[in-house]
Amino acid sequence: EIQGTSEHVVHEQDSNSQSTYETNTNEASNVQEEAKPEAESTTDNIRIRLKYLNDDQKLVEGRLQELLGDFKKRHFSVELSRQKRIRLIFNGQVLQSDDQTLQGCGLYDNCVVHCLIHAQQNTNRTNSQSHSNTSPPDWNLGVLLYTCLSLVLGFAWFFRYQYSHLFTLTTTAALVSLTGMFAVSIIGMYINDEEAVPS
């Protein structure tokens, strides 16, 4: 009877150790299975160095499968809330499509992306249009200059004929050359205006 109970105890110890071994192996396989997604997610995470125009640098994290638009929203939320335009440049190319993933843009771990942050063009245009509507029109000083030069040359020619004894051959040649240059500039001005008008 003692021998039967000792066999029974030994058999129970063997079954307990076997179930403990199975439990340990199950736990180990669960830990390994959990470690695989963690390892995959760590390889999916990348660090990106953002470099601004003023040579400030910022190290941020992103995921290769993250959309570029989501990346901008996450790291440039302050600038986007101020209606600023964010341009990211990588390898000399502007990353424009917000629907593309970071991996699709060619980004990798420890890469450098240049950032341009500036005001929206639409708001600038409306501000400049409203400013131009309120400001007085600029003077066309070219017309004023040509008018004054025409009057000066007209008086010079009048005095040349009225007081011809005061004009030498040199001054008459200078007056003729100045009048010729003035005529060429006026003709050139009108020819350029005609070419600029669309047909």
Q: What is the DSSP letter of 167?
A: -
Residues 60 and 116 in one domain: yes
Residue 143: the pLDDT is 82
- Show the DSSP H helices in the chain as ranges: 2-44, 68-75, 77-81, 121-134, 141-162, 169-196
pLDDT confidence of residue 178: 96
Q: Locate 150 and state its tokens.
A: 């025409």
Looking only at the bridges linking them, the beta strands covering 45-52 and 57-63 are antiparallel
**Could you tell me the pTM of the whole model?**
0.42
Chain centroid to Cα 33, Å, comes to: 43
143 and 109 in a common domain: no
Q: Which residues contact 48 (CB under 8 A, 6 or more apart)?
A: 59, 60, 61, 62, 102, 107, 110, 111, 112, 113
Q: What domain range is 171 assigned to?
A: 138-196
When divided into structural domains, the chain yields a total of: 2
* Distance of alpha carbon 199 from alpha carbon 8, whole angstroms: 110
Residue 131, pLDDT score? 57
pLDDT tens digits, one per residue of 107-123: 889 899 998 888 876 65
pLDDT at residue number 167: 92
C-alpha to C-alpha distance for 8 and 46, rounded to whole angstroms: 58
Q: Which of residues 66, 97, 125 is at a domain's end?
A: 125
pLDDT value for 191: 80
CATH number at residue 90: 3.10.20.90
Q: Apex CA 65: angle with CA 63 and CA 71, to 5°?
A: 55
Residues of the chain under the 70 pLDDT cut: 1-43, 121-135, 137, 192-199
User: Is residue 163 domain-resident?
Assistant: yes
Looking at the domain assignment, is residue 49 inside a domain?
A: yes
The per-residue pLDDT for 28 is 47
Nearest to 33 by CA among 21, 43, 44, 25: 25
Task: State which of 98, 125, 152 marks the end of a domain.
Answer: 125
